[in-house]
Amino acid sequence: MPIFARLLALSLVFFVLSEASAQRVRRTPDHDRQSVASERDIRDRTNSGAVGLAAGLLEGAPIHFATEISRVVNDNSDLTVLPIVTRGPTENVNDLLYLKGVDVAIINSDSLEEYKSQVPQIQQKIVSILSLFPSELHVFVRPEIKSLSDLAGKKVNFNTQGTAAAYSGPLIFSRLGIDVEKMFIPHPVALEQMKHGEISAVIFITSKPVEAFIKGKWEGGYKFLPVAFDQRFEDYYLPAYLDSSDYPNLIGKGQRIETISVPTILATFNWSQDSPRYKRTAKFVDTLFSRIGKLQAPGFDPKWKSVELSARAPGLQRFTPVQDWLDRSTATQGVHP
């Protein structure tokens, strides 16, 4: 090939490569902008479907329930429920009121009492989604204790701070008008001290049956004391009982011990209906309620089988989308609101 032709060919190749490079350079800003826009869209879409669920301590039942809720709601859904480990159902009221990223929370019904002074309209600011499960009051005492009044001035353990017993227990005893020497140590430690006469009673507030009373060996005379449900407990509590099917080694066949329970509630803030958080939480309600059957199937906590979507939570109004869902279900499936 003549030298001139070779130079011309090389020039053409150089020109083509240079033009391609220039085009790549010219396309890069647009490509980067598209990439940034795409990432922003993904971020916005992901966050718009994120529901923060304040649950409780790692060792408590609420975080377990929150995890199961997330498993069902997140499955093939554009929502992402994020269970959050917190300091417990009482502190969750504070998180629901003030903490960014918390859309729904698991609370105890009587935890509202603590906030009445600082938030007088607390029962208008927080609304219920679902009554999850009752936590029965267990007043377990030594043989020499015959009645609640016998506990006056005695050492009574309410479990560690942050637990339901540590908050609700003293509040219930205050309503009963019984002044005890309150202790807040782990229940396993307290039960051992109780056997040696160092503590007169332990107060459990949790869903029955309690493993410690089923597997533990107790001499004759150890027992549960009855607590009557009356007007002192009508605002936040419900009537309940313990019987021989719960604790066959401590309660005689056919016997029933009257007590009260503290409802555990899935609640949300009373968002404005035109806010994104209201709409996101409403979508969460629709998804959860529509899939409640999955939670009541094998593989999930058996307590889900006793959860009634229409059950009211003491002390709180319903979240409007909950009532809307129940009304629609009444028309189509015969569910009674």
Per-residue pLDDT averaged across 185-195, rounded? 95
Residue 310 has pLDDT above 70, yes or no: yes
Per-residue pLDDT averaged across 192-217, rounded? 93
Residue 2 has pLDDT above 80, yes or no: no
164 confidence band (pLDDT: 50, 70, 90): confident
Q: Is the distance from CB of 222 to CB of 191 less than 8 angstroms?
A: no
Please give the residue that has the higher pLDDT: either 125 or 216.
125
Residue 150 has pLDDT above 90, yes or no: yes
Domain ranges of the chain: 1-28, 45-133+264-333, 136-261
Tokens of 282: 């409403």
Please give the residue that has the higher pLDDT: either 35 or 133.
133
Please give the residue that has the higher pLDDT: either 38 or 132.
132
24 confidence band (pLDDT: 50, 70, 90): very low
Per-residue pLDDT averaged across 240-262, rounded? 95
45-133+264-333 and 136-261 share one fold: yes
Residue 133 has pLDDT above 80, yes or no: yes
Class of 45-133+264-333 in CATH: alpha beta
Q: Mean pLDDT score of the chain, rounded to an integer?
A: 87
The CATH superfamily holding the domain 136-261 is Periplasmic binding protein-like II (3.40.190.10)
- Kindly report the pTM of this predicted structure: 0.78
11 confidence band (pLDDT: 50, 70, 90): very low
